[in-house]
Structure 1
């Protein structure tokens, strides 16, 4: 594939990806998300900038995001775990259902269109954003998170939709846990662990889904582009602990509103891309 961007444009692209890495790492620690909600739209625009075909652009953005999420999720999860705020019982109960959902989503990713991926991203982000911004204390699905089979089904759905969105599952896991009365800080911490369960099999799945596609840009393993991974990961790793410290310094309501506003911006961006 011919790269049409000039050296100056490629430098701007690299700087944009470095900035996205810093923001994604910060968000990984702050909201318990892998940062994919930031990386995916920026990566999508970056790939368009250098002339990657539209039919694979979103797939590469999502697959690369999942690969980038691996180290940031791991570091964020371990930092929260050291503080003792991770619900390890819930995390262990998700250990099988979440990866199962990831595998199914990887198969779907091999045939779904880029527009459909963007639509899924926007719809879920909007619903969760509205829930967080307009949340009331009496909004509850129950007094505590139910056991199986309900928990296993939810875990599979978290893995499935998060993999199609290219995120670490924090968006959905946060909403799920808080609707069952769990403290937002515990939800954030546990979501970081769910990101580990999603990102590793998810990245492998997108490699498989895109393997051999003739429209891939250089240095791609299936739908995972190594340039994007190598540029974004270092800054995201450095910023994740900063986000963790901020998360534990904010109140529950401050964290909810900030997360909700962030998701509204993301939903609007992807909705506009469908027009």
Structure 2
């Protein structure tokens, strides 16, 4: 048990870094590691992916909330990109969370794999993600993007427990935003997914307050260990935001997605 806690603390530190630098909130880090540990628990092995997704959303509430407060002080959160997109993401999150609770375990896992692979391929193929011209002026979000796009982002993100940054960051890059600003916006845009998903998953499995350290599908011990690692790291990592070259920041984002893809396939 001690080794598991130490491993979770380490991955919690990594999730703190990814929350600030990439707006992940921890989803791509926490889902694979919690999935691996859940497989080893006899009571939860059959629902391991559900436990991983649920625990990820719970961690994301705190991580994304903390990072959002920090980003408010930097002035990187632009209201014209947040509203009404965040409201429609919340609507989609309701649909995706309920769908995930009844989805087949293997379907949930392989959709997560496909989601990662398609995102990496699209970001590499599409101009403007890895390299951004300095003279490009950011473009506003269209009505269809904010409404239908926001609903789709919320549904997919809550279904897979990844917060939505893997969709919102490429979206903001296509609109011409620097990587630091795109990652900053991903945190508040992930909050409705995290809050709604956590509420649904908390009562989806048992409806009781506690079940061997679980609240519904949420592994409380794993979530606590991850947060003990992530919160101090968020406070430290915020000092380097904006100092990383834009191209290197974008490449690092894709590299982390590739690492998560490999991890979930291997496990």
Q: For residue 13 of structure 1, what is the aligned residue in structure 2?
A: 4
**Contact 2:128-2:173 within 8 A present in 1 as well:** no
**Contact 1:30-1:245 within 8 A present in 2 as well:** no
Residue 237 (structure 1) aligned with residue 234 (structure 2)? no
Q: Which runs of 5+ in 1 are unaligned?
A: 1-9
Per-residue deviation, residues 233-272 of structure 1 (Å, max 9, x unmatched): 1221111133333331101110110110110121122234
Deviation at 1:148, TM superposition (A): 1.9
Structure 1 moving runs of 4+ over 6 Å: none
Q: What secondary structure sits across from 2:15 in the alignment? A: helix
**Contact 2:80-2:140 within 8 A present in 1 as well:** no
Which aligned pairs between 1:198-213 and structure 2 lie closer than 5 A? 198-212=193-207
Deviation at 1:176, TM superposition (A): 1.0
Residue 154 (structure 1) aligned with residue 149 (structure 2)? yes
Deviation at 1:133, TM superposition (A): 4.5
Alignment equivalent of 1:254, drawn from 239, 243, 248: 248
Deviation at 1:132, TM superposition (A): 3.8
Residue 23 (structure 1) aligned with residue 14 (structure 2)? yes
Which has the higher mean CA deviation after the structures are superposed, 59-68 or 243-252?
243-252
Hey, what's the Cα distance between the residues in 2 that align with 1:59 and 1:250?
35
Would you say how many aligned residue pairs link Structure 1 and Structure 2? 261
**Contact 1:26-1:241 within 8 A present in 2 as well:** no
Residue 41 (structure 1) aligned with residue 35 (structure 2)? no
Residue 66 (structure 1) aligned with residue 51 (structure 2)? no
Deviation at 1:127, TM superposition (A): 2.3
Hey, what's the Cα distance between the residues in 2 that align with 1:136 and 1:240?
31
**Contact 2:163-2:190 within 8 A present in 1 as well:** yes
Alignment equivalent of 1:128, drawn from 105, 119, 122: 119
Deviation at 1:144, TM superposition (A): 2.4
Per-residue deviation, residues 178-228 of structure 1 (Å, max 9, x unmatched): 112222221111001112121111100112322359xx9612111112111
Q: For residue 259 of structure 2, what is the aligned residue in structure 1?
A: 265
Q: For residue 95 of structure 2, what is the aligned residue in structure 1?
A: 104
Q: What secondary structure sits across from 1:25 in the alignment? A: helix
- Alignment RMSD: 2.3
Q: For residue 3 of structure 1, what is the aligned residue in structure 2?
A: none
TM-score (norm 1): 0.87
**Contact 1:63-1:224 within 8 A present in 2 as well:** yes
Q: 1:230 to 1:176 in 2, by over 3 A?
A: same
Hey, what's the Cα distance between the residues in 1 that align with 2:138 and 2:60?
32
Q: Which runs of 5+ in 2 are unaligned?
A: none
Q: What secondary structure sits across from 1:149 in the alignment? A: helix
